[in-house]
Every structure is written in structure tokens, then in C-alpha cells.
Amino acid sequence: MNAFSGRASRNSNRVLVEICVASLDYALAAQRAGADRIELCTDLDCGGVTPSVRLMETARKQLQIPIHVLIRPRPGDFVYSTREFRDMRKTIQDAKGWRMDGIVVGILDRESRIDVARTRDLVELAHPLPVTFHRAFDETECKQDSLEAVIQTGAKRLLTSGCRSKAPDALATLARLVEESAERLIVMPGSGITPANVGRVVRATSAREIHASLLTLSLRKEGTDRSRQTELYHHRVLKLVSILRSGASG
């Protein structure tokens, strides 16, 4: 595991900021802005899929903060075929080989329940890397049995929007999940978190980690210079991090 893996969590009073990126430029911009961890993927327009081995390799060479890599072989649902499951296992092995710091994954069964057995298989394969169960959780009924199922997989963290499209619209559900998980699982709100609402999300949920991508239409507008996009992105991440570090969420 990378030597930086535990750096951001040593201060228990600090809200850890994970930024989801699909390019090396944005990953480096997030790191400069003070992000604690990167979730690495590609194709964010479809919710993200597994990044290439090349992107993992270059990100590891240039980033000093922890990198958690998304393992999702395709867009769409989270019910995977035998071949897709085999591919996911292979990608986890590749990620370990490229010294990623964590794995992000989620599998459901055909009844939209947490597939505990197959997810646990991937958790065990990923060891000693920690596993985050991603927003496949939000396709379930978001009840306590779904939370308990995630805990049974051995995952260390749950990324969730509280079963709504945006986390700020599900603060009561997120607060309940944080409380019910107690010390057994980290519940990390994600989706729709911005500098404008991050303080409210943290105050309402008592979450100690948050997840954001911070992409906007203005950043992706056709014709905008790439270096300008990266600069704007850096400032957007910096603003979110500064709000949390200033204690404005407390």
C-alpha cells in the first residue's frame, strides 16, 4: 500500500475530501487544491467506468495523495455476468500491481439487493487494499438491511447519495446511515456536493468524509481552453477544501 494512504485520516476532527476525476490533469489540480484522496475513473458522464491501466500508471507516478480506483467494467446496471466478474477480478489485480491505494466497487443481484458473496470475493481479492462500496447502493431500497449487507461484504466505506439523485436532497437518510453504521463502516456522502452546500451536508449528517466531482457545464463547455478548464477546476476544489478546513462546516 502506498505510504501516503493513511496521511489524511490521522486528524480525526478533519473531514476528508475525496475528489472523483477522469483525467490526470484534473487529478493533479485536485491534489494542488488540497484534496486528500482521488477516486480515479473514466467517462464520468455515465457515472464512471474503470480507468485504463495507462491512466493508473501515470497517475501513480505523478500523484502523492492516495488513489482509489473504480472497478466498473461498463455503464448501466450493477448485475454482472461471469465474464464481467472475471474481468473485474483481473482489473483489481492490475490495480494492486500499479500500487493503487484502494478499490471502489459494487455488485447487485437481479432483485436490486447487495450481492454479498460476489462483493466479498472482490474485497478478499483486493486485500490489503480497503474497498469502498459505491453508489450501486443507491439502487437498493436504502434500508438498514442494505447497510448491513454492505458491512457483511467487508467493505470499509460506503459511497452513497442516500438513494436520491443528489446527496443534499437526502440529508436525513444520510444522517441515519452514518449513525447506524457507527464504527463499523465509513459512510461517505457523494453526488451533487458543491462549495455552496458542503457545510450543510457535513453539519446535517456528521459525515467525516465527503466525495465530489465538482464538474460543471462551464468547465466542459465546447471551445474552452483545456488549461483554463483545469485552472477553474483547481479553484473550485480549493474553495470546497477551504470551507471544510476553515471550520465552516462545524
pLDDT in tens, 86-122: 999 999 999 999 999 999 999 999 999 999 999 999 9
Q: Strands of 23-111 (E only): list them.
A: 37-40, 67-70, 102-105
Provide the percentage of residues in the chain whose pLDDT is more than 90.
Answer: 82
User: For 11-19, what is the mean pLDDT?
Assistant: 84
Q: Residue 56: enclosing H or E segment and its boundaries?
A: helix 53-62
- Lookup result for grid cell 488540497: 34
Cell of 25: 490533469
Show me where the domains of the chain are located. 7-245
**Structure pTM?**
0.91
**pLDDT band for position 220 (50/70/90)?**
low
pLDDT above 70: percentage of residues in the chain: 90
- Residue 114's nearest CA partner among 163, 73, 75, 170 is 163
Mean pLDDT value of segment 44-69: 95
Sheet strands (E) in the chain: 16-21, 37-40, 67-70, 102-105, 131-133, 157-160, 186-189, 209-212
pLDDT of residue 249: 54
Listed in sequence order, the DSSP H helices in 63-212 are 82-97, 116-126, 144-153, 171-181, 198-205
Using an 8 Å Cβ cutoff, are 133 and 166 in contact?
A: no
* Domain 7-245 CATH class label: alpha beta
Among candidate residues 84, 27, 83, 97, the one with its CA nearest the CA of residue 50: 84
Arithmetic mean of pLDDT, 117-132: 98
C-alpha torsion 18→19→22→24, nearest 10: -100
**Beta pairing partners, 19:** 38, 212
